[in-house]
Amino acid sequence: MRDNTLSFHSVVWFVVLFGALFVPDQAFAYIDPGLGGSLFQMFYLIFAGAILFVVSPILVFWKKVKGALRGRLCKDGKEKDEKNDIAI
C-alpha cells in the first residue's frame, strides 16, 4: 500500500492557506474593513496557522500508528480483503 502522507498534507496546506490568505484579501480589496476587520484578519490567519501547526503532525502520527496496528493485526500477509485490498 502506498503512503500518501506527503501528498495529502500538501493538498491540505494548499487548500487552507489558499482559503485563509486569498479569499479574505479578495473580499478586502472591495471593502474597507477598518481597524476591526484588519485585526480580525490578523488573528484569523494566526489561528489558522496555529491549527495547522498542531493538527498536521497529529495526522502524520495517526497514519503511522494506524499502519503499524494494521500490520500487527495481520495474521497472514497473503490473506487479503478483496473489498479494501488490505491484508487481514
- Number of domains the chain contains: 1
From start to end of 1-88, where are the E strands?
80-81, 86-87
Residue 41, domain extent = 5-87
- Higher-confidence residue: 43 or 3? 43
Q: How far apart are CA 77 and CA 30, in angstroms?
A: 59
**Which pTM was predicted?**
0.38
Q: For residue range 9-45, what is the model confidence (pLDDT) as tens digits?
A: 677 777 776 666 666 666 565 666 677 777 777 787 7
- Using pLDDT thresholds of 50, 70 and 90, give the confidence band for residue 6: low
Q: For residue range 48-75, what is the model confidence (pLDDT) as tens digits?
A: 788 878 887 887 788 788 877 777 666 5
